[in-house]
A and B are shown apart, each in its own frame.
Chain A
Amino acid sequence: MNTPISEDVMIIQEFTQECTDLLDSLEPAIVGFGEFTKESAFAPTDESMPILHEVFRLFHSIKGSAGFLNFSHMSTTAHAAENLLDKIRKGEKEMSADDVDLLCRTCDFMRATLDQVATHLSDGLMAEPAAELTARLKQNLEAEAGPAVTQAEAMQSGSLDLAVTPAMIAAFVQEAEEQLQEVEAGLVTWSDGGEKPELIAELFRKMHSFKGNCGFVGLADLERLSHRIETVLDVVKAGAGKPTAKPAEALLNLCDILKEALAGISQGGPGTIDGLELYLELLEDLIPSDWGNSPPAPRPPQLGEILVSQGDVDEETLNEALATQTRPLGEILMESGSVTADKISEALDCQRRSTGLAQPAATTPVAALKRQDLRVDLEKIDTLINLIGEMVIAENMLINSPDLEGLELENFGKASQQMSKIVKELQEVTMTIRMIPVAGLFNRMTRLVHDLSRKSAKKVDLLTLGTETEVDKTVIEKITDPLVHLIRNSMDHGLEGPEERLAAGKEATGTLRLSASHQEGEVLIRIEDDGRGLNRAKILKKALEKGLLTGNGDELSDKDVAALIFLPGFSTADQVTDVSGRGVGMDVVKQNLNQINGKIDVDSSPGQGTLITLRIPLTMAIIDGMMVKVGSSRYIIPILAIRESFRPTAQSITVTPDGREMVKIRDRLFPVLRLHRLHQISAACETLENSILILLENQGRHVCLMVDEIIGQQQTVIKGLSEYIGHIGQVRCVSGCTILGNGDVCLILDAGNLAEIDPVAL
């Protein structure tokens, strides 16, 4: 491992890329462990084991490859994380919330180091955090083997060494009641609407955390019963046959019993369950006898099922017997005379046989989906896209060549049409190369929400939708920061704490919905919370205080008020928290979005939540444009901004006393902006009636642009304007330029700025 190959940049790039991919895919899994460990320490189960293995392998791989490349800090840290995970995996230590946090931090460290490595080709600067993290990992590795045992002992003896305060009990009862409520709702859906894997899995998870809670506060009876219920759910979840009697009903009854016990606890009772053994036995019948030995094995048929299939009992009798079942099924059926002892023992034999047979049919290998990916340097793709852009221009130059003017060239026309078609397709395909799904970005947000909810003690469910939506890579890079800011804002200002939510009649857990979708050449990213919504009065007050607004703001629409939060230096949070409140966030959001021609919309209803929509153009390199002419200058207007174009009649034009020209379209008045005045050029016609008006819309604002004539629609390759022109501000409302077929430069107008200009001030 001593070969110094640091000059081999390619390898290091590959290393950082691979490791980042691994981290991206496994971080959600690590965060997922956080869910298990929320209430109490957690020992890996059969279903979490493969994930644990994957995470272990991640750190193992990083350890090996970092060692190979002589990134010793990375390697030692990965090694420490690996050791910790191995101990948990072997069951020598339970996973605590602290461990999960530490693993998350290790992931963060890995990312930071990978960044370092990518730029400096060395991880030398990370020595300090590496040492700290390694020390903490080691500390967790050694220290907690002890406490985990004492905790387990405390649970067994029922004596609470861990000080469980009355406040904790109260909190537990409250949460447990909510959990049971949810379980109950799920069970009802189950018994009404039939078995759905997601539903069962959800129930299983809820029961699991309920059980964890009970164990934590030392309620042995509740824990035992809920554990048994969990096992039953696991049986159903694993698809180990569908018990003839619907377990849902039985479980619902047991929920009631759990609830009663909880009610007893809140009144100071001991939390014991009378007749616990009976309930446990009752549930035992729902669990295959070999359950736990080989979980994935098919469940042997229930006694009842065998009897039915042998035609000894009909299903109705059986269900009746099962519904009242408190003793072995056979006895009940014999007693009610519906079946003889012989038949029962025959069926029992049959059951035993199939139990024996069920063993070998385990483990069915699942063929992993193979991805057919090719990793290409982004620079190459950018070059390709640039070249395609040039080609579009060249194609325009060729087809619109002045030499061809006035010639009737039938064959050339055909050929050029064919070529245009291919060029267009080529362009579309190249654009899709740069597209990547937003899943990775959203995954990162899962982590953010997890951290924030821990920090702020607010409970939040994050739902991500449309993760397969593909977006330009640059767009993803540009919206990462805004998204972080917006989510922070939603968590800090939007969502309320559990008490406030309950007081407002909402569920204690808030919902944050993150979704992506395509719509008409735009990507929509929505961040929706069901929090308290924007506070109009508070925003206005703050805006006045900070001098961001003149007048009292009463005339502003809700949308305008919402737009105020994006002004620089605006923050309504009364105090700056760790999470947000410095008033820079929203400003950054707006700036970043402007850079990619994105728009932002805020819809908010007080007490019900806020919906923030980011609208981002699908691609930033080529747009569909409408070419117009003013005097001798040509301009491109993005097609997406155009609502309509028309020649105004004299009657539709109104001039206000302060010289504002307005045009009436279908009983609505729109301001007119003379492009020639804006850019101080001479137009061919100065009268509105002889010119053409183009109605533009941007974020609900409209303006009618006055131009001389419309030349036509064309694909436009955007070229940036030089800093000089852009900054001096000689050219207003221009977002870029393009090169025309004849080599002329043509400016692309920015509809957003146009709509904000006051025509009178020109």
Chain B
Amino acid sequence: MKILLVEDDFISRTVLQGIVAHLGVCHQAMDGKEAVSAYRRALAENDPYNLICLDIMMPNMDGQETLLRIRALEKEHGIGGSDMVKVIMTTALNDPKSIMAAMVKGSCDGYLVKPIQRGTLLAKLREIGLISQ
């Protein structure tokens, strides 16, 4: 599995990395801009990511915008349906409004409230079918 962690905060990023590292290749991005270009590169190499953990509040480009751009890129490349990359939004505040926006506009697959717990993240991954029961 190829994973992209998008998170501006060093500690959160390291925690995430620790949880998912054993699942496969794990790349990191500091903000939305980096994430989009990483995603674009992966598409060009024909080796797209399977999972993106995306922080909502980030400098330069926030998670919402990033998600929309990623979905637009997929559309451009004719990627759709269950081939779309699974995206889990991570958010520091339990802000239903922005989660709703990500769900409806960006078709994200789930959200997690920080601090991220190993158990909840792995449960979520099982729920969206990325790791087996």
Mark A residues whose CB is within 8 Å of B.
1, 3, 5, 8, 10-11, 14-15, 18-19, 22, 49-50, 52-54, 56-57, 60-61, 64-65, 68-69, 85-86, 89-90, 363, 365, 368
Residue of B nearest to A56 (CB): B81
Residue of A nearest to B79 (CB): A53
Tell me if A64 and B103 are in contact (CB < 8 A): yes
Report the minimum CB–CB distance from A71 to chain B (whole Å).
Answer: 12
Residues of A near B94 (CB, < 8 A) are 3
Question: CA separation between A328 and B61, bound complex, in Å?
Answer: 57
Q: Which of B77, B104, B107 contacts A15 (CB 8 A)?
A: B104
Residues of A near B109 (CB, < 8 A) are 64
Contacts A18-B100, A18-B105, A53-B75 known; 20 new A-B pairs at CB < 8 A: A1-B110, A3-B96, A8-B96, A11-B97, A15-B104, A49-B78, A49-B80, A52-B80, A52-B81, A53-B81, A54-B80, A56-B80, A61-B105, A64-B107, A64-B108, A68-B96, A68-B99, A68-B111, A85-B81, A86-B81
Question: CA separation between A61 and B105, bound complex, in Å?
Answer: 7
Task: Tell yes or no: B72 within 8 A of A by CB.
Answer: yes
Question: CA separation between A346 and B6, bound complex, in Å?
Answer: 54
Tell me if A86 and B104 are in contact (CB < 8 A): no
Residue of B nearest to A5 (CB): B96
Tell me if A15 and B100 are in contact (CB < 8 A): yes
Residues of A near B108 (CB, < 8 A) are 64
Residues of B near A89 (CB, < 8 A) are 80-81
Tell me if B100 and A68 are in contact (CB < 8 A): yes
Task: Tell yes or no: B60 within 8 A of A by CB.
Answer: no
Residues of B near A11 (CB, < 8 A) are 96-97, 100
Question: CA separation between A363 and B79, bound complex, in Å?
Answer: 13
Task: Tell yes or no: B76 within 8 A of A by CB.
Answer: yes
B71-95: contact bitstring with A at CB < 8 Å (1 yes, 0 no)? Answer: 1100111111110100000000010
Decide: A61 near B103, CB < 8 A? Known: A14-B97, A68-B111, A368-B72. yes
Question: CA separation between A52 and B103, bound complex, in Å?
Answer: 19
Residue of B nearest to A66 (CB): B103
Residue of B nearest to A364 (CB): B76
Q: Which of A3, A50, A65 contacts B80 (CB 8 A)?
A: A50
Q: Which of A1, A22, A50 contacts B104 (CB 8 A)?
A: A22
Residues of A near B77 (CB, < 8 A) are 363
Question: Can you list 30 A-B pairs with a CB-CB distance of less than 8 A?
Answer: A1-B110, A5-B96, A11-B97, A14-B97, A14-B100, A15-B100, A15-B104, A18-B100, A18-B104, A18-B105, A49-B78, A52-B80, A53-B75, A53-B78, A53-B80, A53-B81, A54-B80, A57-B80, A57-B107, A61-B104, A64-B103, A64-B104, A64-B109, A65-B103, A65-B104, A68-B100, A68-B111, A85-B81, A86-B81, A89-B81
Question: CA separation between A52 and B82, bound complex, in Å?
Answer: 12
Residues of A near B96 (CB, < 8 A) are 3, 5, 8, 11, 68
Tell me if B80 and A19 are in contact (CB < 8 A): no
Residues of A near B103 (CB, < 8 A) are 61, 64-65, 68
Residues of A near B99 (CB, < 8 A) are 68
Report the minimum CB–CB distance from A239 to chain B (whole Å).
Answer: 19
Question: CA separation between A49 and B80, bound complex, in Å?
Answer: 8
Residues of A near B82 (CB, < 8 A) are 86
Q: Which of B81, B97, B107, B111 contacts A61 (CB 8 A)?
A: B107
Report the minimum CB–CB distance from B48 to chain A (whole Å).
Answer: 15
Interface of B, secondary structure class, is: helix
Question: CA separation between A69 and B96, bound complex, in Å?
Answer: 9
Report the minimum CB–CB distance from B114 to chain A (whole Å).
Answer: 15
Tell me if B81 and A90 are in contact (CB < 8 A): yes
Question: CA separation between A8 and B78, bound complex, in Å?
Answer: 37
Question: CA separation between A3 and B100, bound complex, in Å?
Answer: 13
Question: CA separation between A6 and B78, bound complex, in Å?
Answer: 37
Residues of B near A86 (CB, < 8 A) are 81-82
How many of chain B's residues touch chain A, expressed as a range? Answer: 20 to 34
Question: CA separation between A654 and B82, bound complex, in Å?
Answer: 82
Report the minimum CB–CB distance from A65 to chain B (whole Å).
Answer: 4
Question: CA separation between A8 and B82, bound complex, in Å?
Answer: 31
Residue of A nearest to B110 (CB): A64
Report the minimum CB–CB distance from B54 to chain A (whole Å).
Answer: 14
Question: CA separation between A57 and B82, bound complex, in Å?
Answer: 9
Q: Which 3 A-B pairs have the closest CB atoms?
A: A53-B80, A65-B103, A64-B103
Question: CA separation between A649 and B50, bound complex, in Å?
Answer: 89
Residue of B nearest to A88 (CB): B81
Question: CA separation between A365 and B99, bound complex, in Å?
Answer: 28
Question: CA separation between A609 and B76, bound complex, in Å?
Answer: 46
Question: CA separation between A14 and B97, bound complex, in Å?
Answer: 8
Residue of A nearest to B78 (CB): A49
Report the minimum CB–CB distance from B71 to chain A (whole Å).
Answer: 8
Residues of B near A64 (CB, < 8 A) are 103-104, 107-110
Residues of B near A5 (CB, < 8 A) are 96
Tell me if A50 and B75 are in contact (CB < 8 A): yes
Residues of B near A365 (CB, < 8 A) are 76
Residue of A nearest to B113 (CB): A3
Question: CA separation between A196 and B54, bound complex, in Å?
Answer: 46
Residue of B nearest to A58 (CB): B107
Question: CA separation between A350 and B65, bound complex, in Å?
Answer: 46
Question: CA separation between A53 and B74, bound complex, in Å?
Answer: 10
Question: CA separation between A56 and B100, bound complex, in Å?
Answer: 18
Question: CA separation between A61 and B108, bound complex, in Å?
Answer: 7
Report the minimum CB–CB distance from B23 to chain A (whole Å).
Answer: 22
Report the minimum CB–CB distance from B100 to chain A (whole Å).
Answer: 6
Question: CA separation between A542 and B71, bound complex, in Å?
Answer: 60
Question: CA separation between A10 and B98, bound complex, in Å?
Answer: 12
Within 8 A of A (CB), among B97-133: 97, 99-100, 103-105, 107-111
Residues of A near B105 (CB, < 8 A) are 18, 61
Residues of B near A56 (CB, < 8 A) are 80-81
Tell me if B81 and A19 are in contact (CB < 8 A): no
Residue of A nearest to B109 (CB): A64
Decide: A65 near B75, CB < 8 A? Known: A53-B81, A85-B81. no
Question: CA separation between A5 and B99, bound complex, in Å?
Answer: 12
Residue of A nearest to B96 (CB): A11
Residues of B near A3 (CB, < 8 A) are 94, 96
Residues of B near A368 (CB, < 8 A) are 72
Report the minimum CB–CB distance from A155 to chain B (whole Å).
Answer: 26
Report the minimum CB–CB distance from B113 to chain A (whole Å).
Answer: 9
**Max count, chain B CB within 10 A of own CB: residue among A22, A64, A365:** A64
Report the minimum CB–CB distance from A374 to chain B (whole Å).
Answer: 15
Within 8 A of A (CB), among B30-89: 71-72, 75-82, 84
Question: CA separation between A585 and B39, bound complex, in Å?
Answer: 56
Tell me if B78 and A50 are in contact (CB < 8 A): yes
Question: CA separation between A96 and B94, bound complex, in Å?
Answer: 43
Question: CA separation between A299 and B82, bound complex, in Å?
Answer: 32
Report the minimum CB–CB distance from B52 to chain A (whole Å).
Answer: 15
Question: CA separation between A69 and B103, bound complex, in Å?
Answer: 11
Question: CA separation between A507 and B94, bound complex, in Å?
Answer: 61
Question: CA separation between A334 and B83, bound complex, in Å?
Answer: 52
Residues of B near A8 (CB, < 8 A) are 96
Residue of B nearest to A65 (CB): B103
Question: CA separation between A326 and B94, bound complex, in Å?
Answer: 71
Residues of B near A69 (CB, < 8 A) are 100
Residue of A nearest to B94 (CB): A3
Report the minimum CB–CB distance from B9 to chain A (whole Å).
Answer: 23
Question: CA separation between A43 and B76, bound complex, in Å?
Answer: 21
Report the minimum CB–CB distance from B53 to chain A (whole Å).
Answer: 16
Residues of B near A49 (CB, < 8 A) are 78, 80
Residues of B near A53 (CB, < 8 A) are 75, 78-81
Residues of A near B78 (CB, < 8 A) are 49-50, 53
Tell me if A363 and B81 are in contact (CB < 8 A): no
Question: CA separation between A69 and B76, bound complex, in Å?
Answer: 31
